[in-house]
């Protein structure tokens, strides 16, 4: 590849014309020139031509702590996404465990009913629930 991967944006930034009639505007012009140099380096590296000064130029525009600040922003964002994913996974796991416990309890209940029926003690449960039923008095 050869240059132009960004359609020579650095030249357009460098050639941008505006009145530099205040100190802030003149400072901004200097800043734009630094940005244009960064864009040039990025464009050359992205097109395969190579420019070893990209990092130095970026640091000159952004400042020494800008990379660390950006990494911190990205790390916080990743932490939020990770926490959301963990909460979803924990919720799913809880649902699975509850479903498993419910099916196990249901199975144990069925087992108990079968054991009661096999032992012939079904009537004892009814008598315990209504003492008058076993004495023949019944409930009126």
Contact status, residue 47 vs residue 1, Cβ threshold 8 Å = yes
Tokens of 23: 């100190």
> Is the pTM higher than 0.85?
no
Domain count, the chain: 2
The predicted-structure confidence for 85-116, as pLDDT tens digits, reads as follows: 999 999 999 988 888 887 776 666 667 767 76
Residues 34, 39: Cα–Cα separation, whole Å: 9
* Burial class (CB within 10 angstroms; exposed 0-12, middle 13-18, buried 19+) of 41: buried
Contact status, residue 32 vs residue 16, Cβ threshold 8 Å = yes
In terms of DSSP H, where are the helices of the chain? Answer: 9-15, 23-46, 54-62, 66-119, 122-129, 131-135
DSSP 3: S
Give the residue carrying structure tokens 């144990």: 108
Q: Taking the mean position of all CA atoms in its chain, how far away is CA 98?
A: 26
Instruction: Please check whether residues 2 and 54 belong to one and the same domain.
Output: yes
Residues 22, 25: Cα–Cα separation, whole Å: 5
Domain stop point among 40, 64, 88: 64
Contact status, residue 54 vs residue 41, Cβ threshold 8 Å = yes
Whether 25 is in a domain gets the answer yes
Instruction: Please check whether residues 1 and 60 belong to one and the same domain.
Output: yes
Residues 35, 62: Cα–Cα separation, whole Å: 9
Instruction: Please check whether residues 56 and 90 belong to one and the same domain.
Output: no
Instruction: Please check whether residues 2 and 52 belong to one and the same domain.
Output: yes
The whole domain housing 46 covers 1-64
The predicted-structure confidence for 10-44, as pLDDT tens digits, reads as follows: 999 999 999 999 999 999 999 999 999 999 999 99
Instruction: Please check whether residues 12 and 51 belong to one and the same domain.
Output: yes
Average pLDDT of the chain, as a whole number: 82
Domain stop point among 64, 88, 109: 64
Tokens of 102: 């419910």
Domain stop point among 28, 47, 64: 64
The predicted-structure confidence for 64-79, as pLDDT tens digits, reads as follows: 787 888 889 899 999 9
């Amino acid at each position: 590849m050869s240059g132009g991967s960004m359609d020579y944006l650095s030249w357009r930034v460098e050639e941008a014309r505006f009145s530099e009639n205040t100190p802030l505007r003149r400072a901004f012009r200097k800043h734009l020139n630094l940005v244009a140099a960064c864009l040039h380096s990025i464009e050359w590296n992205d097109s395969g031509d190579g420019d070893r000064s990209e990092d130095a130029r970026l640091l000159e525009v952004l400042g020494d702590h800008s990379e660390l600040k950006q990494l911190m922003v990205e790390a916080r964002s990743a932490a939020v996404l990770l926490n959301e994913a963990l909460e979803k996974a924990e919720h799913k796991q809880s649902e699975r465990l509850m479903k498993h416990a419910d099916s196990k309890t249901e199975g144990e209940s069925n087992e108990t009913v079968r054991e009661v029926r096999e032992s012939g003690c079904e009537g004892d449960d009814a008598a315990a629930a209504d003492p008058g039923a076993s004495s023949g008095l019944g409930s009126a």
